[in-house]
Structure 1
Amino acid sequence: MFQQGVVQIRPRRIKNSNREKMKADGLCDIWRCLLLVMIVSVKVCWGGVPVVPFGPKVLVVSLDGFGHQYLEQYPGPHLASLYAHGAFPENFINQFVTKTFPNHWSIVTGVYEEVHGVVGNTVYDGKLNITLHITDRALFSQNPSIIPIWTLNEQQGGHSGCIMWPGCNFSYNGTNVTHQVPFKPNSNFREKVDTAVMWMTHSHPQANLVMIYHDQPDQVGHAYGPNSPQVIKELKKLDDDLGYLYRKLEIFELRDVVDIIVLSDHGMSEVPEENIINLSSIVELSKIYTTGFSPVLNVWTQPGVSELEVFYPLMKASASHHYQVLVKDESKELETWHYKHNSRISNILLVADEGYVFQDFWDLIHHYQNKSYPNLTKTHGDHGYPVSSPNMEPIFVARGPSFRRGFPSPPFTNLDVYPLLCHILGLPAGPHNGSLEAVRSILAHPTSVSHIQPLFIALGCTVALVGIVGVIACVLTKRDRKQPISADTLINGYVYRKTMKRQTKQPLEDISEEECLLEAEAEDV
């Protein structure tokens, strides 16, 4: 019972208490989410957490042996459209030796042949005491610090697909590609396109990087020579295939999403059979062992044979034959070509003049004869000559959301493709000999990643401060809720204040929200 003379009031249940509690809990949950986002963001910025790249998907198509000179021999409409609406260098520079496997490995690693160790289509490894071929994993793994772009993409949370690209059927640093098709000769280009599109659309997980290797027009160029009608026919077929690729991308609504890069590894020079150099007339072949293929041969001496015993007759004959002898420790050319500092490169190197080859080229001719290539002549084609030869120049053209349209850039090398792909996919590039600056002009949004990183760090610090403040506020809010006010205490305090107010006739500035509600209840009564 309340004392007489005092206004009797009945405690009212505050209906908003649960709502306020839920609001406070929700606020704490928001702060927790912000704090979690901040932690993940900071780790991502510093490379502590692998992330799936948010950039567009990339499709790289390599047409083996598609020389730059073919653009004039057969300006196909689809490839011409690609150049008209894409970005390309005035000159695309490959690596010596201008062979298939070495240059494809330089494209996906961004390093010189002397660095990654694939110095030829076949190599002799003195440490392993074995000759390595395309089917040997050791051919591609001499330098364990160098990994291909598809492996880097997998390690950073992406998913790669490789179709017959040299070296893609092996694991690197214990990592395999998500999708892979091994090499198969005489494969159909359109089947490769269908597979690539499926990987980027219907596979689980979807690929954000796909590499396609196609062995034409290289095969036809070797068999018939680069100026043959058979090559023109093959170029027309390839151009139609590129048209099929674009129609396929349109059907699956990928044309504005996927960045497409069409490139090659080298060109092709014409070689008449009369230009085949017979080394057996110069040096006893039983004394030497060669690796690589014409027009560049690494010469190794057999056990018990000195290098001088082989060097002198080779050097003497070079004055009357179309080749030069390069000594690894003395040659300035090899230094310039970055084809020197590797144990897989022999001390004696033979380089035939352009248009000439050595006797090992007969093996290639017999190969095409055994494959029943129709209408073979005595004119063929080969590559491997120095990059200074215009006939060795490959092609590069890129089109997609990341690239400028119809833009010819200054020259760059195939080593620059690796940092370019890393930039587009948001990957931390490993050690390489390429340059992102060399290709930055072809990008539609050439913002430097180095300029963006400080912004991420600043943003992370800001989010961190906000998160700390939020946590403190959350703790204080919970602490206040843990001290409930009983109805009796609230009522007695209100009665005391009400009495004092009537006596002093002064307003109370510190009246609480709960007491306001009680006062309104009393006035209603």
Structure 2
Amino acid sequence: MLLNIFLQCVFIQFAYTYSNKPILLIVSYDGFRYDYINKASTPTLVKLQREGTYADYMYNVFPTKTFPNHFTISTGMYAEEHGVMGNNFYDPETRKKIGMEKSMFMQNDKAIPIWTLNEMSESNRYSGCMMWPGCKFSYQNVTPTHFESWDPKYDLYKRVDTAISWIMDPQYPANLVMLYIEEPDFHGHVYSPDSTVVENMIKKLDNVTQYLHDKLRKHHLSHLVNVIHLGDHGMISIKYKNILNVSNYLEKNTYSFADSSPTLHVIPEEGYTDDVYNRLKKASAELGHFTVYKKSEIPNRWHFRRNIRTPPILLLADKGYAFDDFIDTVAYYTKLYNLKVGPNSLFGMHGYAVDIKEMYSFFIARGPKIRKNHKINPFNTVDLYSVFANILELQSRRPINTNLIKEVVDKKETSHAVKVIVITVVGMSLSLLLISCAAAITIILIRRQQNMTTAAALNKRFPKSFQQAVEAQHLLEAEEA
């Protein structure tokens, strides 16, 4: 019985295979503003700051929206390099509007996501992508080994379980997992970042974070897995009355819009570029609260201008303002959540200029290769790629920010491969020791039971003649012989 229990324990211990490569789990909370940690009760995230490395905030790329920034995090490129110019945009090469589809991410062959680089580097490296934007497509003819398509109904805790199961996969153990969670962005848009709904969502995400690290401990992975928690952009509240109706200044059939507030891509019909531009300049002068840029006027510091997908005209609303395309979005929210909307009703918005602090996101890292109890200066999301590559011990395809790597990565830490070997050897030694102890105990119990059975048989057979078990045993053995 005892031997069986010990054997089961040994089987459970070695039923899973972990990668002998450094393991990295990247978790993105969409729209998690840099100061949300202090906005609600987040004991887990605060604890992770103490246990690892963190920055007060990260600078995002323009436009400060989900798809451009997630692809920047994944590739280490600005929007003008990787070609994801917004959550949707007009492509003059195909002459159509591009949304969430393969062509959105395929403009630049040199844009190699970190999950692809990981799989390309060695045959025993495996990546997993849980709903990460752009991850379901093939790059360099390589797709991630583990993948889960976007499904907003997919439970957050189940996402964590699935991500960890990929790391523990017995045949293809993932050493890189990208985990995407669409909150608090979604509810932030509907109710504004200043709402109790968002506050409660922040608390829930802290609980999800706790659940993730509890699961790592349960499966004895905390000493092997490096975890990075981050956001792609922030968010700001806007009032319904701050919607700017620019369409009233334009003639129908002379233009089309792409993307969405607070950045609108304006694509004039052929021959109407100057007319549309002048009308929008007039609207800006009369309405205020937004700026009109020709492509050549877009600031270089945004790294947004030098791409064929950059719109001929760009509209950028001031902080706290939106354009009239947002009216349809509010109508959708009203129907979906039965909202009552008035002039002062609050909603959430992001996509503004990169120097607006409310657009900043957060960064926390913890794990065996991460420095402990260490605060670093704010940095740009394009530099995350080199940090990922360094932790994974990959050759980065992008410029390397050596200073940031030194601030985040603990070079004194024992290598992952050595840790795996040590843990395996110790585990096998302990298992053999337990098996030996179990076998010895089992043998002792069997002999004891045999002696008790023999004594009982002798007492029954020779109740008066033999008083000592040793003599009785000799006689019984002679008789049986």
TM over 0.5: yes
Alignment partner, residue 62 of structure 2? 96
Q: What's the CA shift for 1:444?
A: 1.1
Q: Which runs of 5+ in 2 are unaligned?
A: 1-17, 414-481
Distance across 1 between alignment mates of 2:175 and 2:328:
40
Alignment partner, residue 24 of structure 1? none
Q: How do residues 257-272 of structure 1 correspond to structure 2 at under 5 angstroms?
A: 257-272=224-239
SS of 2:151's equivalent in the other structure is coil
Q: How do residues 291-302 of structure 1 correspond to structure 2 at under 5 angstroms?
A: 291-302=258-269
Distance across 2 between alignment mates of 1:319 and 1:155:
53
SS of 1:421's equivalent in the other structure is helix
Residue 121 (str. 1) matches residue 121 (str. 2): no
Q: What's the CA shift for 1:362?
A: 1.9
SS of 2:139's equivalent in the other structure is coil
Task: Report the AA paired with residue 218 of structure 2.
Answer: I
Distance across 2 between alignment mates of 1:352 and 1:374:
25
RMSD of aligned alpha carbons: 1.9
Q: Is the CA contact 2:263–2:317 (under 8 Å) kept in the aligned structure 1? A: yes
Task: Report the AA paired with residue 361 of structure 1.
Answer: F
Distance across 2 between alignment mates of 1:317 and 1:253:
61
Q: Is the CA contact 1:150–1:177 (under 8 Å) kept in the aligned structure 2? A: yes
Alignment partner, residue 68 of structure 1? 34
Aligned residue among 327, 336, 357 for 2:322: 357
Q: What's the CA shift for 1:389?
A: 0.8
Q: Is the CA contact 2:55–2:378 (under 8 Å) kept in the aligned structure 1? A: yes
Q: Is the CA contact 1:267–1:391 (under 8 Å) kept in the aligned structure 2? A: yes
Cα gap change, 1:204 to 1:369, in 2 (>3 Å): farther
Residue 435 (str. 1) matches residue 394 (str. 2): no
SS of 1:226's equivalent in the other structure is coil
Q: What's the CA shift for 1:76?
A: 0.7
Cα gap change, 1:424 to 1:369, in 2 (>3 Å): same
Q: Is the CA contact 2:386–2:399 (under 8 Å) kept in the aligned structure 1? A: no
Q: What's the CA shift for 1:227?
A: 0.4
Alignment partner, residue 319 of structure 1? 285
Alignment partner, residue 78 of structure 1? 44
Distance across 2 between alignment mates of 1:257 and 1:196:
15
Q: TM-score, normalised by structure 2?
A: 0.78
Distance across 1 between alignment mates of 2:336 and 2:78:
34
Distance across 1 between alignment mates of 2:318 and 2:308:
25
Cα gap change, 1:267 to 1:54, in 2 (>3 Å): same
Task: Report the AA paired with residue 128 of structure 1.
Answer: T
Q: Is the CA contact 1:279–1:285 (under 8 Å) kept in the aligned structure 2? A: no
Alignment partner, residue 244 of structure 1? 211
Cα gap change, 1:352 to 1:435, in 2 (>3 Å): same
Distance across 2 between alignment mates of 1:97 and 1:433:
22
Alignment partner, residue 345 of structure 1? 310
Q: How many residues align?
A: 392
Cα gap change, 1:388 to 1:285, in 2 (>3 Å): farther
Distance across 2 between alignment mates of 1:189 and 1:375:
29
Distance across 2 between alignment mates of 1:388 and 1:433:
23
Identity over the aligned pairs, expressed in percent? 38
Alignment partner, residue 172 of structure 1? 139
Cα gap change, 1:224 to 1:177, in 2 (>3 Å): same
Q: What's the CA shift for 1:375?
A: 7.1
Q: Is the CA contact 2:192–2:238 (under 8 Å) kept in the aligned structure 1? A: yes
Greater C-alpha Rg:
1
Q: Is the CA contact 1:416–1:439 (under 8 Å) kept in the aligned structure 2? A: no
Alignment partner, residue 222 of structure 2? 255
Distance across 1 between alignment mates of 2:402 and 2:349:
31
Alignment partner, residue 503 of structure 1? none
Q: Is the CA contact 2:56–2:362 (under 8 Å) kept in the aligned structure 1? A: no
Instruction: Encode CA deviations 1:172-199: one digit per residue, 9 max, x unaligned.
Output: 1111110000001243211110001110
Task: Report the AA paired with residue 191 of structure 1.
Answer: K
Alignment partner, residue 497 of structure 1? none
Task: Report the AA paired with residue 365 of structure 1.
Answer: V
Residue 275 (str. 1) matches residue 242 (str. 2): yes
Cα gap change, 1:433 to 1:101, in 2 (>3 Å): farther
SS of 2:285's equivalent in the other structure is coil
Residue 148 (str. 1) matches residue 148 (str. 2): no
Q: TM-score, normalised by structure 1?
A: 0.72
Instruction: Encode CA deviations 1:162-217: one digit per residue, 9 max, x unaligned.
Output: 00000111111111110000001243211110001110113421100000010000
Residue 130 (str. 1) matches residue 119 (str. 2): no
Q: What's the CA shift for 1:114?
A: 0.3
Alignment partner, residue 192 of structure 1? 159
SS of 1:270's equivalent in the other structure is strand
